[in-house]
Structure 1
Amino acid sequence: MSNTSPNMLEFHTRERGEPRLREARADAAPAITMLETRQPPGQFFTPVSDDLVLSQSSGTPFHYVCDLGAGRFSGHTHTRDFVAIAPGAAPYCRVTDPARLRFIGIPARLARSCLERTPDDPLDFGPVHTRHHNDPLIAQGLELLWLEMGRSDPAARVFVDSMMACVVVRLARLASQVAPAEHYRGGLAPHRSAQVIDYMQAHLDEPISLAELAALCDLSPWHFARAFRDTHGQPPHRYLTRLRLERARELLSTSTRNISEIAATTGYTPQQLARHFRQAFGMSPGEYRRLYRDEPDLGGEDTRAP
């Protein structure tokens, strides 16, 4: 992170009972560092940076309370969700569960150049700094940057440069699409939202009806669907699909279960999992496993949707 990566590294490697830094990957020109940290439950701070900082969840879901300089907000985040921190902001965060996070600092000069902004532009993306996001392009871009960061071949150099530009431009586009945090105050109460999501997580392998979820909140299905969309920006069935696919993605990269077993664990037939997974991630479950585990396919993959 141009001027501040040594401070970031030092911050995350101080003696705190257990090391928080899991891994660091660096790119030389321009000087960029990506860090992966392990945060125990409780409050933690990230040092003020001159860069545009993005933080992405890389582990299991967790609850949080956060302030990125634009007001306090809370939520329940999942793998690949991210937040954006403007240069100079002093972020605060408290997590109620163990969290694994990746940080990248994009040099402000590079970000301004991508957006053709003046040197004194604050790189403030407004409502983007008021909640976490799951934009597919940025989420995938950050994950691919992590894979490419630190490789010395010319292709990696070109990829890192171009992907960072894509992430910055997409972030600016996202700023014009995201409603302010006030828009979400008419949705579900935070404890109801957490209750619904926890229920989804506990029943990923079962059919879940809209009426079931609505009953948890003592609302009619119609009112529940509208309140859920106001809170999370998408309807309940789409949010549930995302949870199931993220669970499948986690099992593909961390377990030895075959794809048929993973499909059953996430409430799908193998054919349904293949179809939804390809739509979400641009590849089949078997292709994803080979890419992220570098192991042979474990069976059950010839299930491409017709």
Structure 2
Amino acid sequence: MNVHAQTSFAQWHAHGQHASYVRARKSSGGLLDLLEVARPAGNMSRPALGDLVLVEDMLGNGHLRGDLGGGRIDMRTRKGALIVVAPNFSTTVINGASHRLRSLAFPVAKWEDMLDGGAEGRFSFDTSFVYGQSFESPAIRAALRALWALCEDEGAPSRLLAQAAGCEILAELCRLGGAPLAPARGGLAPWARRRCVELMRARFAEDISLEDLAAEVRLSPYHFARMFKQSLGVPPRVYLTRLRVAKACELLERTDLPITQIALEVGYSANQVLARVFVKHMRMSPSEYRKAVRDPGRA
């Protein structure tokens, strides 16, 4: 592969002629970037960038030639097909038709240590993935769409959401590439479960990360996420959301705080974000919930 580049995939798309092709961007502080681009036919080659990029073809029926890090390709594209583009590689891309893509970019510097912990020291961005080949994966497509939908609901994803979703997708890519990450060894020990729950209850309004939680129980973030789910039945992100919704319910019941203030108190950037999350979990808006619990006869 070529020498490492400092420019990220998202930064490259933000400047010059390519900026006009970007239709949407969801970002999380450098942990991952989701972009949707709509581009015309032609040469879309780019320099080496420091991100591994997973691309989903939203239209299909195109013709793709070039090299995405795994050797020369010349193929027809299919709607929903996925391709992994190598990091730190100057790609050659000639598209025979206009196209629309959703891309998920992983800065290798932010993910290498996390995945190395999951592979017990054997992980490599050079050898753990298959680059430049079109493939199908309902599991990855579903994870991408869930991540995009969550970002639509909650804005830029939290660190916990970005890391958990990223680990899930990258682990599946490793498995498909023939280099599966090591499975989790059972659930958390009772003391570890108790400590994590205490920490999440104390810091539920913060942008807590997998590293923060995993460090408390001396596990790699990758293994911690899987062991947490085995112990508590849901991923850390879902558990944290439930804590936030529960606290919002308490504040709606017991205080006269404006909903905007309650959103900030429980860790959301705006009352609209709280409303979307609240409706999803409680099947009613925060204001409807407040009326229902305070005057049940009129609900």
Which TM-score applies when normalising by structure 2? Answer: 0.49
Q: Answer 1 or 2: higher relative contact order, Cα 8 Å, separation at least 6.
A: 2
For the pair shown, the structure with the greater C-alpha radius of gyration is 2
Which TM-score applies when normalising by structure 1? Answer: 0.48
